[in-house]
Structure 1
Amino acid sequence: MDQVLVLIGVTIDHRNTDEIGNPIETITERSILAEELSVGSGEFYNAAVAGLRPEKRFEMYTREYQGEVKLKHEGITYRIIRTEGRSEKIRLSCERVAADG
């Protein structure tokens, strides 16, 4: 576990809204350590059929992951598109967020 990830969680509070009536989102970030894995060709092609483009894959301890929807690695934001539990560890497959190029 030698890679620093920033897990990004989003909570939507439907009871509180902004001035035009949109629910207010609260974003939380926290840093953890993970191991970077390669994205296998099988996973890449299977995801492409569904319109997804996995670029990064990480493994971390399951207790560290709390259902976050995004993460940052080396300054780039990724959307978590798949999780795969492996008892005490979990693997996250991610695609780059379009706004980050």
Structure 2
Amino acid sequence: MLWRDVIDLIPVVVTKNGYGEEVETDGIPRTVYANKKSVRQSEFYQALAAGMKPEIVFEVMVADYTEEPKVKYGDKYYRVIRTYSANGERIELVCSIYPMEE
């Protein structure tokens, strides 16, 4: 199978600010190969019923994914709302648009 797309997997790091409060910041992104896929109709309606709006699915190798909650593809950021692995080698990351405050 050809890996046609490149995405950045972005971990979230919890640190303490000057007031001792825990804050989440983006960690160092890791670039991996992926396949961009469409959201299946059944997936879309199930997620919508649960208050989520899936926009895109990325298929990556299981060995490349280490529970990163954010994905960057092109100039857009996404958050991973669900993962699915059917065969143990590949995993699908079901994502929705991530609101960026910056």
Match of 2:69 in 1: 69
**Which structure dedicates a bigger proportion of its chain to strand?**
1
What residue is the counterpart of 1:2 in the other structure? 4
Gaps of 5+ in 2: none
Specify the alignment match of 1:22 in structure 2: 21
- Identical positions, percent: 35
Question: What residue ranges of structure 1 are gaps of 5+ in the alignment?
Answer: none
Distance 1:91 1:40 in 2: 12
Provide the rounded CA distance (Å) in 1 between the counterparts of 2:98 and 2:61: 24
Residue identity opposite 1:47 in structure 2: A
SS, match of residue 28 in structure 1: coil
- Look up the match of 1:38: 38
Partner of 2:89: 88
| Count, aligned residues | 97
CA separation of 1:49 and 1:24: change in aligned 2, threshold 3 A? closer
Q: CA deviation at 1:25?
A: 3.9
- Provide, for residues 27-72 of structure 1, a one-character-per-residue CA deviation record: whole Å limited to 9, x for no partner: 1211000001110111000000011000000111100000000000
Q: TM-score, length-normalised on structure 1?
A: 0.88
Q: RMSD of the alignment, in Å?
A: 1.5
**Separation (CA, whole Å) in 1 of partners of 2:66 and 2:94:** 15
Distance in 2 of aligned mates of 1:78 and 1:66: 16
Give the drift of 1:24: 4.8
Question: What secondary structure does 1:63 align onto?
Answer: helix
What is the TM-score when the length of structure 2 is the normalising length?
Answer: 0.87
* Partner Cα separation in structure 2 for residue 18 and residue 51 of structure 1: 32
